[in-house]
């Protein structure tokens, strides 16, 4: 998929207007936050927060390792 987006002036800044189909694919709407991530292939615009995902991976590992303790605490 290739889309062409035009830069436009927004006050003293420059912005990009994202079409509805792109917003839908990103699963975002007005007021949500997008993240700009530099990758080896270029710049990626995403609603996914990579540092939060890494923290969640660590939390899941801890929960998996301590499943019995957490189950006992939940009783």
Q: What would the pLDDT profile of 3-54 be if each residue is shown by its tens digit?
A: 889 999 999 999 999 999 999 988 899 999 898 888 899 998 888 776 776 7
- Residue 37 belongs to some domain of the structure: yes
Is there a domain that residue 50 lies in?
yes
Q: For 63-74, what is the mean pLDDT?
A: 84
Q: How many domains does the chain have?
A: 1
Instruction: Judge whether 2 lies within some domain.
Output: no
- pLDDT higher than threshold 80 for residue 59: yes
Range of the domain at 45: 7-74
Q: Which two tokens stand for residue 22?
A: 């792109």
The per-residue pLDDT for 11 is 92
In angstroms, the first-to-last Cα distance of the chain is 50
In a domain, 1, yes or no: no
Note the pLDDT of residue 40: 94
Q: Is the separation of the CB atoms in 47 and 28 below 8 Å?
A: yes
Q: Are strands 35-39 and 13-16 parallel, antiparallel or unpaired?
A: unpaired
């Amino acid at each position: 998929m290739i889309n062409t987006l035009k830069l436009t002036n927004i006050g003293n800044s420059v912005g990009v207007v994202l079409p509805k189909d792109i917003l839908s694919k990103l699963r975002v709407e007005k007021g949500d936050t997008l993240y700009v991530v530099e990758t080896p292939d270029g710049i990626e615009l995403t609603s996914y927060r990579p540092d939060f995902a890494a923290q969640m991976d660590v939390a899941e590992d801890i929960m998996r390792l301590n499943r019995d303790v957490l189950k006992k605490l939940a009783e």
